[in-house]
Structures are given as C-alpha cells and as structure tokens.
Amino acid sequence: VGPIRGHSQTILILMAVGGIFSCLLMFLSIGRILKPVKNLALGAHRIAKGDFGYKVNVKTGDEIEVLARQFNDMSAALKKSFTELEARVVECRQGEAALRQSEEKYRKILESMEEGYYEVDAAGNMTFCNESMCRILGYPAAELLGMNNRAYMDEGFSRKVYDTFNEVYNTGKPV
C-alpha cells in the first residue's frame, strides 16, 4: 500500500488522461455514426418532399454504407416509378380528352338527326333516347327512360324486336 500512495497523484493523472481519451474516442465514434445517419435522414426528407433523384453519399465501409447504397437504389426505383406514373397520367388525360371529343361529336349527331334513336337494356327498358324518338313516340324523355318497349309497341312488333335484340345479343352480329 505504501508504494501506491506515493504514486497516487500519477495514477490520478493517468486516470484523468484515460478518461479524457475515452471521452474523445467516444465523441469521434458517435460523430462517425451520426453523420451518415443524419445524411440518410436528410435523404429521406428530400425524397418525401418529391426529390426522387436524391442520392445519399456515405463512405463508411460498414453496414451504414450498405444501407446508403440500398437507399439510393430505392430512390432510383421511386424516380423511375414516378416518371412512369406521370407518363400514364398524361396518357389517361389525353385519352379522356379524346373520349370527351368523341362523345360530343356523337351527341351532336344524335341530337341533330331526324331519325329516332334509342337504347334498351336486356329486359327491353329504354335507357337512352334522342329528341326525335321522343317526338315520334309522343312522350317526353323523362317518361320514356325506364319504359318497357311493350308499352309503346304492339305485341307482335314487340316480340319481333325482342327476338331481333336477342339474336344480336347472342351472336354479337348486327342485323
């Protein structure tokens, strides 16, 4: 015990230096871990805001670098998917515009033609008619829609229409 007492000041100094050195190593180690984690967090934030091409640059030579590479792969896949999705949206919008133009064209044709035009469901109930059909049958459109063809056709003609519609429905060929 005697020789240790004589060196107690040296031992305390060595312990203090060791503690300071340990704290310094711990601080450097934490910084080495936290910096790439902060870079990954920043990358996640930027991707969440729509910057799908953002790449994280982490060169640590450990699992965090592997995670960063996977993060970059995911970012690239998101960018590709988003670009493809944008192209599909543009395509759909163009298709919708073309459909609206076509619908408008055929609506004008149906409205301007003198011949009666109507559509029925499988049971013979009217689902659509043009204004000429309303004039021909003498009913407003509100009354015709949903009306069965037997209400405005005689029994013989109604049967003939039913048979004709069934033939078209079963064969898929117009008559």
Q: What is the share, in percent, of the chain residues with pLDDT greater than 70?
A: 97
pLDDT in tens, 20-31: 989 888 887 777
For residue 2, what pLDDT band results from cuts at 50, 70 and 90?
low
Nearest to 68 by CA among 83, 55, 78: 55
Q: 81 burial class (0-12, 13-18, 19+ CB within 10 angstroms)?
A: exposed
* pLDDT at site 133: 95
Contact (CB, 8 A) for 175 and 161 = no
The two three-digit tokens of residue 86, written as one number? 């944008």
- Among 52-56, 80-84, 128-132, where is mean pLDDT lowest? 52-56
Mean pLDDT of the chain: 89
For residue 5, what pLDDT band results from cuts at 50, 70 and 90?
low
Torsion of CA 93, 96, 101, 105, to 10 degrees: 170
What φ, ψ does residue 122 adopt, rounded to 5°? -60, -25
Cα 45 → chain centroid: 21
* pLDDT at site 92: 97
* pLDDT at site 84: 96
For residue 6, what pLDDT band results from cuts at 50, 70 and 90?
low
Which residues pair with residue 126 across a beta bridge?
120
Report how far residue 78's alpha carbon sits from residue 88's, in angstroms, rounded to the nearest whole number.
Answer: 15
Task: Find the mean pLDDT for residues 125-131.
Answer: 95
Instruction: Give the count of beta carbons closer than 10 Å to the beta carbon of residue 161.
Output: 15
Q: Does 144 have pLDDT greater than 60?
A: yes
For residue 8, what pLDDT band results from cuts at 50, 70 and 90?
confident
